[in-house]
Chain A
């Protein structure tokens, strides 16, 4: 029975069942993949959120982390759960649903690959989480040397990477198949975004794979020392790209989903595709700005890299323009008047709009912060302070996560064949406001106290009752208040997701994809991913040849493994 429900891959329904299935939405088998990924994502959010709360409570001096856990252990778990599990699983669930919906279903072999990938990721995650729980891998999310985790942690990471590759290639196969069946046509925009995201996921995980493969023999004691600078560089080529992958995922919802929800059309299709290509080409090189204050790199090389990092700002500025243009255009069509008349015509009571909209607004200060801190001197001031923690809570915790929340209010009922009820929508609106207040309180306090010098990656200390350190306390209290609000909002979100996945009334939910403006023609060169990938590789080579050659040929003494906790 299940097999007969499968959708035709070429998008042309033949039998009555296929036609009905096509009209109603997603193939049940494909929906199960997305639903499972989303379930794991939100389970990780719950656990990661609780660890986050424990962390802020200790950092604020309220209590010590209980249950025999320690601060750095909880910090590592929070980072890994949020960054490697929640965001990544959500991204994959969302794009696989998008690929299935826009390309007329997943190919059977791609479906199989998605499940194998899922198995690998979960297996890898279990291998990585055991040493975290036994306090053998409190190396934090940035797991580079000289701190060494248990080998099992690194071996787990290898499986996670292999799982990612499996999913990336599954996506490529499906897109290539669609293109062959639809010669000369442009890949549907959401699948185009998915292609970009999976290309980045694949190429960004290459350097970290090399890093991890060198860390394994080092942590096992087979080799005595490791080149720390090379490891850090390989890590950030991945680490920074990874956060940008979620940002690109959020951006896809802004360009494609939000215009539909407000009853408008998409901004220029060409510009959208150019933004995606630009983000893919310029992203991996941006990672080096994390090492702006590292020793052993000449000033001129750092200066060059500031350009490479700031280049990512351009597509973001284009996005800001595009989104506000869509708002204005839609509002004017609906009779909005005045300079900013658009805001009255937007569906503020619809959580599917409200959450991504606040996410977009949050990206204005978040992006600006990113731009300033990638410059040399400002980075010297803020690099090891809570400012940075505030920055990524504003970018990831607010911009990306809130967009994901907004998406989940239609995506989860869509893949569960249920509907978003007005009551859950209302709950979502309250939850969104609570999350906004919580995250703003936390992020603003972190930014501010960071400027005063409060360090990051450290548990609560008064530094011998030092007056300056005591001056940070009010802000740390605000961070605790913000973190507590976030946990309440997180629990509301989880309740909503659970309800939408298992309890909400059965029905069909729309997959909201906005149409492009009429009469627009997109040039075909945007489809030449092969060329863009080669260009990306050239840019990556340009960026990393200088520091890596320097680090290898003028290598400092290697570092033995350290356990600092």
Chain B
């Protein structure tokens, strides 16, 4: 339960206007730091919801797949340049961003991850690694400014952020495939 409170506190801290403004002032920080932190906040808050509505999660997210689909849709939505622009210019979209990433992405992620099993998790990591490479390619190579609010160089920076994160995911996948953990544990 304590962690749900920490999650809520994190969400509140991220919602303070100067904090939100600072994080949204740099494109990559907006997408690769603020948004993941909102998911993390939801991830922690999920504990309360899991304890409060166990039946709901059991019936609607029995094997973790529906939760991961919801998570993927929500997170992918926020990777689109247009949505980032709207989050900055339209207040209701900004509120939706805080709500959707915390509750519709963070909560299902927490509930689904353990249910997925090792293969399911590896599929998800591979999927996101591929998605990140594609997004990296788009952001680095686009000759046009994709967001009204961010300069071209920030877009390229974000692209490289996608690439480096994808590389880290691939390194992790290689690590778990070549290291036989049972030899050590």
Contact = CB atoms under 8 A, between A and B. Distances in A.
B176 A545 contact: no
A325 interface: no
Interface stretch (B2-10, B80-88, B158-166): B158-166
B164 A541 contact: yes
Contacts of A303: 22
Nearest to A187: B184
Contacts of B172: 530-531, 534
Contacts of B171: 534, 537
Contacts, number: 63
B29 interface: yes
A301 B176 CA distance: 34
Contacts of B153: 549-550, 553-554
Interface size class of A (residues with CB under 8 A): 20 to 34
A300 B184 contact: no
A179 B185 CA distance: 8
Interface hub of A184, A534, A537, A545 (most chain B Cβ within 10 A): A545
B26 A300 contact: yes
B160 A542 contact: no
B61 to A, nearest CB: 25
Contacts of B164: 541, 545
A16 interface: no
A524 B185 contact: yes
B25 A549 contact: no
Nearest to B157: A549
B51 interface: no
Contact of A546 (B22, B28, B179, B185): B28
B70 interface: no
A176 B29 CA distance: 37
Contacts of B183: 180, 183
Given A179-B184, A534-B168, A537-B168, A546 B26 contact: yes
A545 B168 contact: no
A24 interface: no
Interface string B129-160: 00000000000000000000000010011001
Interface in A303-338: 303-304
A301 B184 contact: no
Contacts of A361: none
A46 B32 CA distance: 49
Contact of B156 (A180, A298, A553): A553
A210 interface: no
A184 B183 CA distance: 9
A542 B26 contact: no
A538 interface: yes
B95 interface: no
Interface of B: 22, 25-26, 28-29, 32-33, 153, 156-157, 160-161, 164-165, 167-168, 171-172, 175-176, 179, 183-185
Interface of A: 176, 179-180, 183-184, 298, 300-301, 303-304, 524, 527, 530-531, 534, 537-538, 541-542, 545-546, 548-550, 553-554
Interface pairs A-B: 9 shortest CB-CB: A541-B164, A549-B157, A530-B175, A534-B172, A179-B184, A545-B161, A538-B168, A537-B168, A545-B160
